[in-house]
Amino acid sequence: MSETDDAPDGHIRKPRFSFVWIIPIVAAIIAGYLGYRTLVEEGPLLTLSFDTGTGLNASQTQVKYKDVALGTVESIALSRDHKHVIVKVRMTSVGAPFLTSHARWWVVRPNFSASGVSGLDTLISGSYITLDPGAPGGHKQDYFIGLEDPPGVRSDQPGSTFTLKADEIGSLGSGSPVFYRDVNVGEVLGYSIGNGVGPVTINIFVSAPYDSLVRAQSHFWNSSGISVSLTGGSFHVVVQSLQALLSGGVTFDLPPQGLDSPPSPDDAVFPLYPSQDAAKASGYNRKVPLVTYFTTAVTGLSPGAPVNVLGQQVGQVTDVKLVFDPLARVVRVRVAMDMQPERLFRDRVVPAAMLPALVQGMVNKGLRAELDTASYVTGQQVIALTIVPNAKPIPVTMEGDAYVLPSDAGAFGAIVASLGTFTDKLNKLPLDKVVDNLNTLLVTTNHTVGTAQIKQTLAALTATLNSANTALGGFRQNYGNDSDFQRNLEQLMNQANTTLRSIDLLTAYLNRNPSALLRGRSGQ
């Protein structure tokens, strides 16, 4: 019998819906939704190349920007040449817009260095990859070479970059701080030695609003390490900061006369001076080149040494070198200097046309260049421009645009020269003959003092004294004890006794020490 036959009244029975199918249907809908959402949210595949894969883990390490997840590392492998680590990152749709040619990528790890401490949060959460999106624009790109260190300047950090030129950089390096009035306002981005012959190029970043203080009159100097000076008999030790002591540092200032000038544009070029004193000296606009020559040692004198007048700096040494004069066949030391007239004539401006007559007049009055010791501890020497009394007028000559000043040995040099002359004369003395003659004299004196004639003379003096005492007794009887003659005679005899005792003591001492006739009792 068919199912239709069982139906009452000839109606056909419809199949019943089973609730068992609800669960797989719902699961299929959820799976479809999740698949659709995955396809919608899944972004492009990013490829990064790093030197090392330290701290990176597949399926765990994330890509973050401002603590927002932009993707996850899918795989980590070596490059074909085994020199790099290739990291595949599946980006989300949120991270897709960051894949431009302006972006920079690096791994955030714990970092402890002299420049500071960073990445401490990764000690708990683990390392992650982050980026700097760079300036707006750029073309689409999905392959990047990652940075091994974080960049010094981020695209969202306001400020300006500048270029410094220096012969030496000391302990400066990437991350070294930049100071203005002891405030950390930037950092060194990096440096380049170029072809190795010219100056070193140093790139720095100064954050806003301090970048507006960098103007055409600003001075930059190397403030790395410790500055030690001896002034007024005491040591002065200056340390810019602990960070500058460890990793080096750059400091700049803005003179008052530079406030009216506009801020310098990006990538403006400035010289980097080795010290603050050198930077301040560069602020004087006028420089008069001078040259002088020395025939004595100039140990301790180097470029940058001060040129002083009465102990006050009016310039600095620019060059020190040996030169040979073929005509005179003499080796001399040529010292080149720059004098800043603004330091000497603060209240007036000396026209350039008056300088030759002014220099010649000063030389005629005894102006000379001398070596002076700035510190007996370090041996540093400076150039002192002094007036030598009774100095003869000397015509001032020129070497190019430099005035040639006559030099003088100075007080210390005169002492050394006198000692040298005395030594030469002493070496010429016949000291051997003098010593032989002294020995002969000592022997002769010894024999003479100990001879019988000296002893007979002393005996005679003693006999005479006894006779005088006897005569004195007779005089007392004839003239009395209170007469003037008696008193004068007693005084005379007392003096004679004292003289005799002195002669006796002298004779005894000379018998024991005959050399005392020449050397004295002190033996010197």
pTM of the full predicted structure?
0.53
Within a domain: residue 152? no
Domain identity same for 166 and 105: no
Comparing CA positions, the residue from 213, 210, 204 lying closest to residue 261 is: 213
At 338-357, the pLDDT tens digits run: 888 877 776 667 777 888 88
**Secondary structure (3-state) at 344:** helix
The alpha-helical segments, DSSP class H, found in 336-386 are 341-344, 355-364
Domain identity same for 295 and 274: no
Domain identity same for 176 and 209: yes
The answer to whether the bond into 209 is cis (omega within 30° of 0) is yes
Q: Which domain holds residue 227?
A: 159-281
Amino acid 278: pLDDT:
80
Residues of the chain with pLDDT under 70: 1-20, 33-42, 111-124, 225-247, 346-348, 410-439, 441-465, 467-486, 488-489, 511, 514-524
Amino acid 476: pLDDT:
57
**Secondary structure (3-state) at 273:** strand
Domain identity same for 306 and 402: yes
Task: Measure CA 305 to chain center.
Answer: 13
* Cβ pair 69, 62 in contact under 8 A: yes
Comparing CA positions, the residue from 412, 376, 385, 383 lying closest to residue 230 is: 376
Domain identity same for 201 and 121: no
* Cβ pair 428, 422 in contact under 8 A: no
At 196-209, the pLDDT tens digits run: 788 899 999 999 99
* Cβ pair 186, 206 in contact under 8 A: yes
Within a domain: residue 236? yes
In this structure, what token pair is assigned to residue 340? 């800043």
CA dist 251 and 238 (Å) reads 13
- Cα distances from 238 to residues 106, 143, 303, 377, in angstroms, run 37, 49, 22, 18
DSSP state of 270: E
Task: Give the per-residue SS3 of 30-44.
Answer: HHHHHHHHHHHHEEE
CA dist 360 and 396 (Å) reads 6
CA dist 144 and 142 (Å) reads 7
| Sign of the dihedral defined by the CA atoms of residues 100, 67, 145, 81, in that order | negative
CA dist 508 and 451 (Å) reads 13
Domain identity same for 107 and 229: no
Within a domain: residue 172? yes
Comparing CA positions, the residue from 140, 141, 145, 208 lying closest to residue 180 is: 208
For the chain, the straight-line distance linking the first and the last C-alpha, in angstroms and rounded, comes to: 159
How many structural domains is the chain composed of? 4
Q: Among 231, 264, 281, give the residue marking a domain's end.
A: 281
Comparing CA positions, the residue from 391, 293, 273 lying closest to residue 337 is: 293
- Cα distances from 469 to residues 204, 348, 472, in angstroms, run 109, 94, 5
In this structure, what token pair is assigned to residue 469? 């005492």
The answer to whether the bond into 44 is cis (omega within 30° of 0) is no
Within a domain: residue 370? yes
Within a domain: residue 449? yes
- Cα distances from 24 to residues 19, 20, 33, 319, 423, in angstroms, run 10, 8, 14, 92, 117
Amino acid 10: pLDDT:
55
Task: Give the per-residue SS3 of 90-123.
Answer: EEECCCHHHCECCCEEEEECCEEECCEEECCCHH
CA dist 489 and 265 (Å) reads 112
* Cβ pair 165, 131 in contact under 8 A: no
Helix (H) or strand (E) segment spanning residue 212: none
Domain identity same for 226 and 272: yes
* Residues whose CB is less than 8 angstroms from the CB of residue 44 and which lie 6 or more positions away in sequence, other chains included: 91, 96, 99, 142
Amino acid 524: pLDDT:
52
Q: Among 256, 281, 306, give the residue marking a domain's end.
A: 281
In this structure, what token pair is assigned to residue 143? 């392959």
Comparing CA positions, the residue from 365, 344, 352 lying closest to residue 403 is: 352
Helix (H) or strand (E) segment spanning residue 450: none
Beta-strand pair 42-50/85-92: antiparallel
CA dist 257 and 123 (Å) reads 50
In this structure, what token pair is assigned to residue 91? 């980006």
Amino acid 162: pLDDT:
95
Domain identity same for 79 and 179: no
Domain identity same for 294 and 416: yes
Comparing CA positions, the residue from 227, 204, 339, 213 lying closest to residue 276 is: 227
Q: Among 398, 423, 448, give the residue marking a domain's end.
A: 423
Domain identity same for 419 and 300: yes
